[in-house]
Structure 1
Amino acid sequence: MDVVSGRTTNRALRRQNRATLLSALFLDGPLSRQDLTARHGLSQAAVSNVVADLMDDGLVVEAGAVESDGGRPRILLRVAPEFASVVGVDVGETRVRVEKFDLGMTPLAKADYPLEDVDPASVVRHVLDGLSEVAAEDVLGVGIGVSGLVEQGPEAVVHAQTLGWDAVPLERMLRDGTDLPLHLDNGAKTWAQAEHWFGAGRGARHAAFALVGSGVGAAIVADGQAYRGASSSAGEWGHTTLVYNGRPCRCGARGCLEAYIGAESLIARAAEAGIGVEGPDEETQVASVLADPAAADVLAETAAYLGAGVANLINLFNPERVVIGGWAGIALGSLLPQVRAAAAAQAMRRPFTQASISLCELGTDAVALGAATLPVARLLAAGGTRD
């Protein structure tokens, strides 16, 4: 091997080792050097050298000590929370939430803006206002979770039929108002990343994350990695056909799962059944339906439809976990036993027995948290080197 290629190989290996150990400390820390050696099959010398580099760069700090068997206490290490901050943005259908976190993913500041309409210019204005309010120096990047298909490229473009967005150049529009690094993705995918890293999906190699709110979406993790499809549109679970030529869906098709389990559908079906629906917004209206004893049949039907949708995820992807979230999914949490029963009736027996079905753990704000992990994921993959 010549000198140049040898240097290149050594540099690439060192970067890979930095990425491996930094990711372990971020996702599973605090850990000791001995833990890192045992987990990743690296020599003690290699781990010590990489950790020393990461500490010199300010990325890793000591986090106390634990007793060891018969030897000196082991020094624990963690990613330095103060190394940088990140911002996560949740662009929903009714509001924009902008939240700032340190690298320990501790919330530092938040701004919320109600959306009177989903015109892209209004969304961009609220996002930029939020960045001005919460962001300060040393922001690593801004992650943005948005409804619809986010087509990645030199600049991310959003296709969202239910919002009336057709190839909206959202990244370009935002870049006109900020110099911060931007990372855009579908909101269901950013939520799923948060639950996979920190919540109900933690540790799962194969998982399906079902987000139920005003709209319905899903994200799939296969062998530990997000499954994205040819153009990042994988996961439009809400627009899979549940009933051929059934109820009209906001996307323009008929019989979509979203037309049966989304918040808008639940409210509409309750009204059609003569249930009094009260409240100024979808969340309070759904709450009023859930509190009305006369809505028992509508809710049982909703649980059955949701269970059938979960069964489709199980049959298609054979996950070890199915995690249900989103504000409407959480609101329907009391129906989880009925959802499980319906899924059992519709799914193939063997893959159903291999899958747990549970509610999310991170609550309704996890889209912003997940979006904030997008610049973090880039940092980890680069071994702590900023692009």
Structure 2
Amino acid sequence: MRSLRGNDQSVVRALNRNALLNMLLHEAPLSRVQLRERSGLSGAAVTAVIAELIEDGLVEEQATGPSTGGRPPVLLTVNYGARAAVGFKLMERGLDAVLANLGGEVGNHVRCDLPDTRPETVVQTAAEVTARLLDGSGVPRERLVGLGMGLPGVIDTESGVCVHSSYLGWHGVPIAELLERATGVPTVIDNDVNAFAAAERLFGHGRQARHLAVVTVGRGIGSGLVANGRTYRGARGGAGELGHTVSERGGRACDCGKRGCLEAYASEPALVARAREAAPDLPLPDIHAVLAQRSDARIGALLTDAGERVGVALANLVNLFNPELIVIGGEGVRLGEPYFSALRRTLRENAFDGLADDLPVVVEPWGDEAWARGAASLAISRTFDLEVT
């Protein structure tokens, strides 16, 4: 972070503005006096910034609080409907998109198929869907704070480049720039699990957590890490590849080209493949069929084994990262028992002395728009959490 010069008033004001907005997001309603006490800013600075935010429509005076002897304080809150963001979850065969307000509430949701995942196809479709979302909700384009896109792969968020995505067949694609050019709206991209973590940090179970791990299970297994209230992406944007930690050295082949990865044992495609091997007499075309046979001892043992493998991986994550909360999401939440009971038991058995004793492990109910809502949170988070670099 660069040092702030005393005459760099625009940067100082932007930092103050976002600090107060972020405070109201997490703690509203608050009075101006409470904002001054919590932020350490002067009364004049708080008054000036709040006046600006009210004029912009981002903050509103909601009610009066109890009097402590003088005039009752006026309480302030965020006007979540003042702005909106579009979020995209990019998949191999489709695009999920939502229009969400600053509180993460989804006002419009569109899901469309993609004929292919060439960057030009994705950009054109995203631009068309953005127009559909705005037209369908009556939100003018100038009220958009930005677009967010979550996609699988290694993402350089600062440059807006998809460095590598084996799922999409992309290498070095400047997708954020292409989207901005097509839509005229500022765009931020990130790994899809980091996008999900952004939603949990802003609006979900992690609102009060400074150190948070979000784990997704489904076609793949990934994690998003929030350290000190900030997403941790690593040196090249590749942090969180939990599914490619080694579960069994020299074991089953993984789609990444390596052997023994956790995904090769505990992802949904891996479970289907392993179930067919373990129970060749059963019709098991997909994960739904596998789960329908969970009462079969062979399938039950397989689900337990997969849950234990993920539990060990999470114990390693806890030992290294020491989060205060783990949130599990993704299509894999439908795996149910005995998968999750084995996961929790093995996590606690293998975590270092006391680190998992009081650690909440929350399984987040899955919805079709959850990923796209997370992507919208990427753009929304820029409104509340300004980083000066």
Question: Which bin holds the TM-score, normalised by the shorter protein?
Answer: 0.7 to 0.9
Q: Identify if the C-alpha distance between structure 1 residues 272 and 118 changes in structure 2 by more than 3 Å, giving closer, same or farther.
A: farther
Using the alignment, how far apart are the partners of 2:122 and 2:273 within structure 1? 27
Deviations 1:116-137 (A, max 9, x none): 6544444334323311211342
Q: Identify if the C-alpha distance between structure 1 residues 273 and 131 changes in structure 2 by more than 3 Å, giving closer, same or farther.
A: same
Secondary structure of 1:371's aligned partner:
helix
1:368 alignment counterpart: 372
CA contact (8 A) 1:267 1:277 kept: no
Instruction: Give the total of aligned pairs.
Output: 372
The answer to whether residue 46 in structure 2 is matched with residue 47 in structure 1 is: yes
Secondary structure of 2:63's aligned partner:
strand
Secondary structure of 1:349's aligned partner:
coil
The residue type paired with residue 129 of structure 1 is E
Q: 1:122-137, aligned counterparts within 5 Å?
A: 122-135=121-134, 136-137=140-141
The range that moved more, 220-229 or 176-185, is: 176-185
Using the alignment, how far apart are the partners of 1:333 and 1:200 within structure 2? 20
TM-score (norm 2): 0.86
CA contact (8 A) 1:311 1:346 kept: yes
Match of 1:327 among 327, 331, 345: 331
Secondary structure of 2:185's aligned partner:
coil
Q: 1:174-253, aligned counterparts within 5 Å?
A: 174-175=179-180, 177-253=182-258
Using the alignment, how far apart are the partners of 2:310 and 2:97 within structure 1? 30
TM-score (norm 1): 0.87
State the shift of 1:114 in Å. 3.1
Deviations 1:67-89 (A, max 9, x none): 34555544322222343221011
Q: Identify if the C-alpha distance between structure 1 residues 252 and 116 changes in structure 2 by more than 3 Å, giving closer, same or farther.
A: farther
1:282 alignment counterpart: none
1:107 alignment counterpart: 106
State the shift of 1:174 in Å. 3.2
1:291 alignment counterpart: 292
Using the alignment, how far apart are the partners of 1:245 and 1:117 within structure 2? 34
CA contact (8 A) 1:159 1:166 kept: yes
The range that moved more, 318-327 or 348-357, is: 348-357
Using the alignment, how far apart are the partners of 1:21 and 1:108 within structure 2? 26
Secondary structure of 2:243's aligned partner:
helix
Deviations 1:174-222 (A, max 9, x none): 3453222111111000101111221122211212111112122111111
2:34 alignment counterpart: 35
CA contact (8 A) 2:162 2:173 kept: yes
Using the alignment, how far apart are the partners of 2:319 and 2:80 within structure 1? 41
Secondary structure of 1:177's aligned partner:
helix
Using the alignment, how far apart are the partners of 2:86 and 2:225 within structure 1? 24
Q: Identify if the C-alpha distance between structure 1 residues 336 and 17 changes in structure 2 by more than 3 Å, giving closer, same or farther.
A: same
Using the alignment, how far apart are the partners of 1:30 and 1:363 within structure 2? 30
Secondary structure of 1:351's aligned partner:
coil
The residue type paired with residue 331 of structure 1 is R
Match of 1:336 among 326, 340, 343: 340
Q: Identify if the C-alpha distance between structure 1 residues 10 and 162 changes in structure 2 by more than 3 Å, giving closer, same or farther.
A: closer
Secondary structure of 1:254's aligned partner:
coil
Deviations 1:71-113 (A, max 9, x none): 5544322222343221011113443111111223222211101
The residue type paired with residue 305 of structure 1 is R
Using the alignment, how far apart are the partners of 2:121 and 2:368 within structure 1? 23
Q: 1:69-148, aligned counterparts within 5 Å?
A: 69=68, 72-115=71-114, 117-135=116-134, 136-138=140-142, 139-148=144-153
Secondary structure of 1:183's aligned partner:
strand
Q: Identify if the C-alpha distance between structure 1 residues 15 and 137 changes in structure 2 by more than 3 Å, giving closer, same or farther.
A: closer
- Work out the percentage of aligned pairs sharing the same amino acid: 37
The residue type paired with residue 377 of structure 2 is T
Q: Identify if the C-alpha distance between structure 1 residues 224 and 81 changes in structure 2 by more than 3 Å, giving closer, same or farther.
A: closer
Q: Which runs of 5+ in 2 are unaligned?
A: 135-139
The range that moved more, 173-182 or 192-201, is: 173-182
CA contact (8 A) 1:318 1:355 kept: no
Q: Identify if the C-alpha distance between structure 1 residues 382 and 309 changes in structure 2 by more than 3 Å, giving closer, same or farther.
A: closer
The range that moved more, 373-382 or 335-344, is: 373-382
Using the alignment, how far apart are the partners of 2:132 and 2:283 within structure 1? 36
Using the alignment, how far apart are the partners of 2:157 and 2:214 within structure 1? 21
The range that moved more, 75-84 or 293-302, is: 75-84
2:261 alignment counterpart: 256
Using the alignment, how far apart are the partners of 1:376 and 1:19 within structure 2? 12
Deviations 1:301-334 (A, max 9, x none): 1111111121121122111212111121x21344
Q: Identify if the C-alpha distance between structure 1 residues 143 and 369 changes in structure 2 by more than 3 Å, giving closer, same or farther.
A: same
The range that moved more, 159-168 or 297-306, is: 159-168
CA contact (8 A) 2:330 2:366 kept: no
CA contact (8 A) 2:97 2:110 kept: yes
The residue type paired with residue 266 of structure 1 is L
